[in-house]
Structure 1
Amino acid sequence: MNDLRIAIAGAGGRMGRMLVEATLRDAEATLAAAIDQPDAVVLGKDAGELVGLPCGILVSSDRDAGIAQATCLIDFTRPEGTLEHLEICRRHGTAIVIGTTGFDAAGKNAIAAAAEDIPVVFAPNMSVGVNVVFKLLDLAARIMNEGYDIEIVEAHHRHKIDAPSGTALRMGEVVAQAFGRDLRQCAVYGREGVTGERLPSTIGFSTIRGGDIVGDHNVMFCGLGERVEIGHKASSRLPYALGSLRAARFLSSRSKGLFDMQDVLGLR
């Protein structure tokens, strides 16, 4: 059996199924458990059959037993569920990759506290491409730190429950930090009515929700006579799954600590 034994939370969902498929196709990983809610219609089904790859691992609602079987849990569910899974991981000494977004300050503090005992990768986006974009944004913002207005536009499917996306917020944080600003003080979330002229120190966010858009993000540096755009478009959830497995491999050599994808990819 491979040392990288993966448990997947929310295995019957859109992202969960992609994680199941990516894990089953990864020669260096083993699907150890597939977990979902007690009322999920996929309970008792072969997790692999959900993606055309029968594997003998049945979807279960027994989170404790599933996490105990794994060396790493990958979780793209919801904040309340992820925090419960986090405590189970902490109890069993299981690493966790958290792709869930929408945490409040208390949730983020709980993740940091758990990382004192277990290894955690917590990132707003697991895609390798998106994390390269974060690096490019930092470079661009340091160069275009005067005379440019920053606008961030993101689009996701109709089922996404938080806005702006965690990725868009992280993009804003990267730019704000490069400018020496606090995003909490300079962010503007949508505009309506007579708003007056745009304040040059602000960073604007626009959110689109519709259809089955997987995830589009675009950051515009708008100057006089020119506009520089840095963006990323995901056509499927596969990049998030592949990045998550890369994060799980990264954690396999760590005993504890809080990391993000910049650490995983060596971009710091």
Structure 2
Amino acid sequence: MNVGIFGANGRMGRVLIEAVQESSETTLTLATVRDDSPWIGMNVGDVAGVRNQTIACTGISTIQPDDVDVMIDFTLPAAFEHNVNWCVCNVVPLVLGTTGLNQAQEQILKDAAITIPIVYAANYSVGVNVMLALVKQAAKALGETADIEISEAHHRFKQDAPSGTAIAIGKVIADELKRDLDDCAVYGREGKSPVRDHNTIGFATVRAGDIVGEHTALFADIGERLEITHKASSRLTFAKGAVRAAEWLVQKKPGLYSMSDVLGLAES
């Protein structure tokens, strides 16, 4: 299967190159960078620090769909519309890991999924997606009595807060409890405040150093508490999950899929 990567010189782009190379099922045939990037024309192996790569980085406006079965995109929201439109125009499936999309962009994504198959996930780690299934079960059993808090930590360079994964955890819990996350989420506390509203879901965010990603869902009642935690130690975890999603997606019909679909957890 031939794979292309948008934003090949980014932090995730470089790891995706490594993950595609490690998979026996995939071959990297396209790697894009910005049109003004000094990486244009450079061997992707040199960009990612891996061997046995023979293709060169290509400017985003000059890419061609020849010999590409699926694209993977972990770039920033600013590049989202161009990338998804390119995939739609060329009928190329897309694995999307860009977080921080606004409502208009989410609608563009839904519209694109009418034409092409898309996997969209806030986090491609297999462990995180198992965690999402577990917090749904915890919410069902404990949500009516326990206070719920979600904490997350990432590296100093991450721009969106809370993380897309933290929001995904909160949404799974809120949906299970028939609550609207937009109404019940509390994203910060400072100074004196009224007694905690039991129906709220709290979020706490840390940005520091080179933390790859840590997420905890806390269900706290009087006398006991349950904590469900996932810690990632390498970005390669996310990249391998994205490659797994690409392998799964390439034969699917148009539609918007999740990592839970890829892993067979959708009905959990």
Q: Do they superpose with TM above 0.5?
A: yes
Counterpart contact for 2:119–2:245, Cα < 8 Å: yes
* Cα distance in 2 between the residues matched to 1:109 and 1:129: 28
Corresponding residue for residue 76 of structure 1: 74
* Cα distance in 2 between the residues matched to 1:243 and 1:109: 25
Corresponding residue for residue 18 of structure 1: 15
Are 1:36 and 2:29 matched, yes or no?
A: no
SS in 1 for 2:28: strand
Residue 104 of structure 2 is aligned with which of 98, 103, 106?
A: 106
**Percentage identity across paired residues of the two chains:** 45
- The residue correspondences of 1:151-170 to structure 2 (distance < 5 A) are 151-170=149-168
**Residues 86-127 of structure 1: CA deviation (Å, up to 9, x unaligned):** 001101110000000000111000001001001100111111
Which ranges in structure 2 are unaligned for 5 or more consecutive residues?
none
TM-score, length-normalised on structure 1?
0.96
* Cα distance in 1 between the residues matched to 2:264 and 2:123: 16
SS in 1 for 2:3: strand
SS in 2 for 1:171: helix
* Cα distance in 1 between the residues matched to 2:116 and 2:68: 13
* Cα distance in 2 between the residues matched to 1:178 and 1:25: 38
Q: CA deviation at 1:62?
A: 3.6
Q: CA deviation at 1:255?
A: 3.2
* Cα distance in 2 between the residues matched to 1:172 and 1:62: 35
* Cα distance in 2 between the residues matched to 1:16 and 1:158: 18
- The residue correspondences of 1:144-183 to structure 2 (distance < 5 A) are 144-183=142-181
SS in 1 for 2:242: helix
Are 1:215 and 2:205 matched, yes or no?
A: no
Larger deviation, residues 122-131 vs 58-67? 58-67
SS in 1 for 2:17: helix
Instruction: Give the AA of the match of 1:247.
Output: A
SS in 1 for 2:101: coil
Instruction: Give the AA of the match of 2:187.
Output: Y
Q: Structure 2 vs 1, CA of residues 105 and 62 (structure 1 numbering), >3 Å: closer, same or farther?
A: closer
- The residue correspondences of 1:1-268 to structure 2 (distance < 5 A) are 4-50=1-47, 51-268=49-266
TM-score, length-normalised on structure 2?
0.96
Instruction: Give the AA of the match of 1:199.
Output: D
**Poorly superposed stretches of 4+, deviation over 6 Å:** none
* Cα distance in 2 between the residues matched to 1:7 and 1:213: 27
